[in-house]
Amino acid sequence: MTAGPSDDDVVLAARELYRFYRAGEEETLALRGVSLRVRQGETVAVVGPSGAGKSTLLACLAGLDEPSGGEVRVAGVRISHRPETERSRLRARHVGVLLQSRNLLPHLTVHGNIRLAQHALRGRPAVTADALLEQVGLGRRAGALPRQLSGGELARAGLAVALANSPAVLLADEPTGELDGHTEQLVLRMLRDRAADGCAVLIVTHSTEAVRGADRVITLNDGRAHEEHKGTAHTKEHSHVLH
């Protein structure tokens, strides 16, 4: 018998992540030993109540925030515990990030935002800005500024920017929040297509549609992660309490 799937195709790996916040007298342990692995072509949904640590986890995975303990590796390279400039460089090459606050600069057009995200890549991008805009249905809004877009258009533009570097790992915080049914379907279809192309997709979501489409679901609760194996009653704990 083989020992299960090989580790070669794990492109996102977090080991024993802790994130400790201190604000005045107040201390919060937002992540308490979260470990997870996402393979090429896999879609993982992260769910959990407000304050469970979902956004903190996503920020640590993206290298936007530093965990207080533990390690994050992206495409085989450690992204945690490095200077911010190095984390940004690694993120620009390997990671697409779609945040609730959106990832668009207000003074650049939609096309300009995509080109900026591609700027950090060496050589020609695998996909052109025009092709990305067509894919998200914004071919005719390339020259618009973010403030000139509707909420649904903004979400799609944000997704185009997140995909501009053809990332190995796509991290999205509520990518379908507040979208109408049609736009939600379009965004979920694009995420599925990227996963089919080999991207590892991790989404924080409350959408039942998005959870249904995921290969695996990880529930965060009070900074601890539990993985629910879809289609089985088995539950595996992936967290360790800090003593």
Ligand X SMILES: Nc1ncnc2c1ncn2[C@@H]1O[C@H](COP(=O)(O)OP(=O)(O)OP(=O)(O)O)[C@@H](O)[C@H]1O
Interaction between residue 54 and ligand X (CB under 6 A): yes
Residues that contact ligand X, how many (by CB under 6 A) = 12
Nearest Cα residue to 203 out of 240, 169, 155: 169
Considering the rule CB under 6 A, would residue 224 count as an interface residue with ligand X?
no
Verify binding: residue 3, ligand X, rule CB under 6 A: no
Q: What is the closest distance, in whole angstroms, from the C-beta atom of residue 30 to ligand X in the complex?
A: 3
| Least gap, CB of 147 to ligand X (angstroms) | 24
Q: Please report which residue ranges of 110-180 form alpha helices under DSSP H.
A: 110-119, 129-135, 151-162
* CB distance 42 to 12 below 8 Å: no
Q: Which is nearer to ligand X, 101 or 232 (CB)?
A: 101
Q: Tell whether residue 68 is a contact of ligand X (CB under 6 A).
A: no
CB of 54 to ligand X, least distance (A): 4
The yes or no reply on residue 50 touching ligand X (CB under 6 A) is: yes
When binding is defined by CB under 6 A, the residue of 15, 40, 41, 51 that contacts ligand X is: 51
CA 243 – CA 233 distance, rounded (Å): 29
15-44 mask for ligand X (x: CB under 6 A)? Answer: ------x-x----x-x--------------
| Cα–Cα distance measured from residue 223 to residue 19, given in angstroms and rounded to the nearest whole number | 9
Residues 75-94 that bind ligand X (CB under 6 A): none
The CA distance from 156 to 144, in Å, is 13
Cβ atoms 159, 190 nearer than 8 A: yes
The string of DSSP letters for 41-108 reads T-EEEEE--TTSSHHHHHHHHHTSS--SEEEEEETTEE-SSS-HHHHHHHHHHHEEEE-TT-S--TTS
Question: Which of 8/27 has CB closer to ligand X?
Answer: 27
Binding segment (CB under 6 A) for ligand X, from list 51-59, 111-119, 122-130, 140-148: 51-59
Candidates 53-61, 72-80, 85-93, 157-165: pick the segment binding ligand X (CB under 6 A). 53-61
Location of structure tokens 């009653």? 233
Q: Would you give the distance in Å from CA 124 to the centre of its chain?
A: 24
* Binding stretches for ligand X (CB under 6 A): 21, 23, 28, 30, 48, 50-56
